Amino acid sequence: MVSLFVQGYHRHQILKVIIPEVDMKPLYPYTRIVTQIDNYHGALVSDPYRWLEDVDSEETLEWIRRQNELTSSFLERMPTRQKIKNRLTQLWNFPRSWAPWKKGKRYFQERNSGLQNQNTLYVMEHLHGEPRVLLDPNAFSDDGTVALTGLSISKDGNWLAYATSRSGTDWLTWHIRNVATGDDLADVIEWSKFCNSAWKPDGSGFFYSRYDTPVEGAAFQNTNYNHKVFFHTLNTTQEHDELVYQRPDQKEWWFQSEVTEDGCYHTLTVLQGTDVRNRLFYQDLQNPDVFVELISELEATYQFVGNDASVFYVFTNLDAPRGRLIAIDTGYPQKENWRTVIPASSSVLEGVVMVNNQFCALYDEDAHHILRLFTHDGSPDGEIPLPGPGSVVQIDELGLHGSRGDDELFFAFQSFLCPPTVYRYCCTTRSAHVISVSEIDFIPAAYETYQVFVTSKDGTRVPMYLTHKKGLQRDGQNPTLLYGYGGLNFANMPRFEIHRLIWLEMGGVYASANTRGGGEYGEDWHRDGMLDRRQNVFDDFIACAEWLISEGITSTPKLAIEGRSNGGLLVGACMTQRPDLFKACIPQVGVMDMLRFTRFTIGWAWISELGTPEDPEQFKTLYSYSPYHNLKPGTSYPATLVTTADHDDRVVPSHSFKFAARLQACQGGELPILIRILTKAGHGFGKPTSIQIEEQSDIYAFLWSQLEME
C-alpha cells in the first residue's frame, strides 16, 4: 500500500512543497497511514487515515499547513485568479436588503452596503422612516468572523435578543439590546445551539434552548445530546434561568419555542435529529406547570401556524405528502375531530402564515414558488403575483413577514439572474409594490434561464435549471458547472448567488439539478432519496450530467460538479462511482465517511436520513456509496478541489481531511487533488464576505484551469 503514496519523504521531515506547472500532477505532502481495521457485522474495513480525526493534534495541524501551502501555491500560479477576484469584488459590491418585519410600531430590516462582511440590522420608526443602525455585526471583530446568527424582537418592538457565533461555529451566544437606546444589558447566554428565542408578550424575557456546557476543549467534536428549554428573565444572569422543559429519557430530542400571537400559549416543536417528522407540545402560559403533548407520535411534519383561542392551525403532511393545513381544537384533540382548512393539491405546500386574519400559503410548483391566499375559512382567495420562475428568499422560516392584525405582507423575490427584490403586499388594496431593488453591475438581459426535465435511470422525471448566455452553441465545448444537493427535504430552488455571475461572464453554463431526496415534490420525493433509496439521488445527478453531454451543452472535458454539505456527499459519491464522467469536482464541507459520521457533534442527527452503520442492512447501503471507502487505487479521478473549515462543528473537517488524503494516494491520473482548509471558519453560515470572495476566486480559478477555459 505504501507504493500508492508519493515516495521520498521521511515521516518526520519538514517539507518544502514543490509546485509544478499548473497542468501537471502536484507532488503531494507525505500523509502517514496507520493500520486501522474495523469489524462491521463481519466486514473488515480499513481506515488508514484515522489519525486525521484528531483535528487539533500537532501532526494534523502540520498536515493542514502543508496542504494549504500546496493549494495556495498551485492556485496563485493561475494567471486568471487575480482577474477573477477583482471582477468578483466589483460584482459583490452592490447595496442589498431583505424583507422587513414589523414589531409594535417599528420596522426592522437587514441591509448590506456591498462589501460589508456581515449584514447590518436597521430599525425604522415607520416603514419609510430614516433607518437607524440597531446592530452592526461588523464591529464585533476586525476580520468579520463573528457573525449575527439569530435574532428575535419582543412583541412591542422594544427589546432585541440576538445571537452571535464565532469563527463559523454552530454554538450561539445570546445578548439583549434596548431598541430605543441601542444599549446592551449585561445579560449573556452561552452554549445554545440549533434554537431560536421566543419572547413572552409582556417583554419580560424569552424562551430558548441549550445544551449542557461541554467539556473544555471538546466543544467542536463531542456529540450534542439532551437539549433543554429555559426561560431567561431580563436583567438576570444565566444561572438564574428557569428550566422549563427537559427530557433526559429522550437525549436526541431538541426544541424550538414559539409564543402564540395572542400571548396565551408557548408551543414546542419537538424534533429528533434531522427527521422531517416532529412532535408538537404546548404550555398554557396561564397554567405553566403542564406541557400538553398535542402530537406525541413521530409520524409526520407538524408546524404551528396560528390559533383562535384553543383552536390551533397546523401545517402537516400527514395523509398528504404535499402538505395541507388543518385545525385542531385542543379541547377535542383526537384525530377524528381534526378539520382540513387548506386541502392538499398537486403543488407542494411549504408552509403558511397568517396575515390580515387570513392565510398566505407558499407553494412549490416544479421547483419554483407561488404565493396563494385563502380566507379564514380556507376558501381560495387569489394569488400574489411573482415576476416569474424564482423563489421567495428564505433567511428565516418561510421568508414571509406579516402578522395577523396587519394588512401588509413583506417578502423578497429572487431568481438565478435577479438579486433579491423586496415587495410589500397590501391585503386591503390587493396590490404588491417594490420597496427596494438591488442594482448590480451586470446585464441579465444577455443571459437566459430555462428548465428541462431529465429521465433518470429508473425512468423518474428530474427537473434541472440551466442558465447561460443567449445564443449558446450546442457543440459540446461549453464549460459547465452542475450543482446539486439532494437530501433532507431541502428544495433546491432558483436562488441568486452573486458569484455565479462571474461564471456566466467567463462563458460558463450553470446547471442546477433537483434530484430526489429534496422537497421539490413533497415527502414522497424526499423519501425516494433516503436510507436504502439513497442511490436514486446519485443516479438522478449522473443522469443530469449525461443529459448535458448528450444534448451538446458540454462534454466530459468541460464538465464540473459542485455541492455543499449533503451536496458534498453527492459530489463525492458521484465522482467515485463515475470518475470517467467529470473533468473537475468541487466537494465542499461534505459528509465523506459514512461509517463514522454518527460519532461527532450533531452527526447522530442524520441517522433518520442516512441510516446508521450499527444496523447490518443500513451498513451495507452506507458502505456501498461512502466516498471515503469507495476510492480505488490507480483510478484516474477528476481534478478535485475539496473545501472545508477547521471550525466546522456540523460536518467535522476530518471527513474532508481523510477523503482528500486517500484521494491523493489513489489518484492514478495526472489531474490535481487539492484541499483548501479555511481557518477561523465553520460550515458556512455567517461566513464573512471577504472570505467568500477569496474562496470563490480560488474555485473559479481552479475550474478555469482544469476545464481549459479561454
User: How open is the CA angle 213-216-221, to the nearest 5 degrees?
Assistant: 85
- Among the listed residues 197, 257, 565, 656, the single catalytic one is 565
Separation CA 484–CA 513 (nearest Å):
5
Residue 654: enclosing H or E segment and its boundaries?
A: helix 654-666
Residue in the structure block whose three cell numbers are 450543482? 483
Give the number of C-alpha atoms closer than 13 A to the C-alpha of residue 331, restricted to the C-beta side.
5
Residue 407 DSSP SS3: coil
Residue 88 DSSP SS3: helix
Residues contacting residue 463 through CB under 8 Å, at least 6 positions apart: 366, 367, 451, 452, 453, 454, 513, 514, 520
Residue 335 DSSP SS3: helix
Residue 121: enclosing H or E segment and its boundaries?
A: strand 120-124
* 683 included as an active-site residue: yes
Number of other CB atoms surrounding residue 218 within 10 Å: 11
Reference 487, options 451, 536, 414; nearest CA is: 536
User: Angle, to 10 degrees, between the axis of helix 81-92 and the axis of helix 689-706?
Assistant: 140
Separation CA 278–CA 489 (nearest Å):
14
Main-chain dihedrals φ then ψ at residue 240, nearest 5 degrees: -95, 0
Sheet holding 380-384, edge to edge: 348-355, 358-364, 369-374, 380-384
* 565 included as an active-site residue: yes
One-letter amino acid at 456 equals: S
Separation CA 22–CA 506 (nearest Å):
19
- Among the listed residues 528, 539, 593, 648, the single catalytic one is 648
Separation CA 383–CA 373 (nearest Å):
6
One-letter amino acid at 259 equals: V
Separation CA 406–CA 157 (nearest Å):
15
- What grid cell was written down for 569? 456527499
Q: Are 174 and 162 in contact (CB under 8 A)?
A: yes
- What grid cell was written down for 510? 450553470
Strands 291-295 and 278-284, bridge-based pairing: antiparallel
Sheet holding 302-308, edge to edge: 302-308, 311-316, 324-329, 339-342
Q: Are 447 and 135 in contact (CB under 8 A)?
A: no
Residue 584 DSSP SS3: strand
Strands 673-678 and 639-645, bridge-based pairing: parallel
Separation CA 670–CA 638 (nearest Å):
9
Residue 532 DSSP SS3: helix
Q: Are 350 and 323 in contact (CB under 8 A)?
A: yes
- Among the listed residues 654, 683, 697, 698, the single catalytic one is 683
Number of other CB atoms surrounding residue 707 within 10 Å: 21
Separation CA 149–CA 144 (nearest Å):
13
Which are the catalytic amino acids? 565, 648, 683
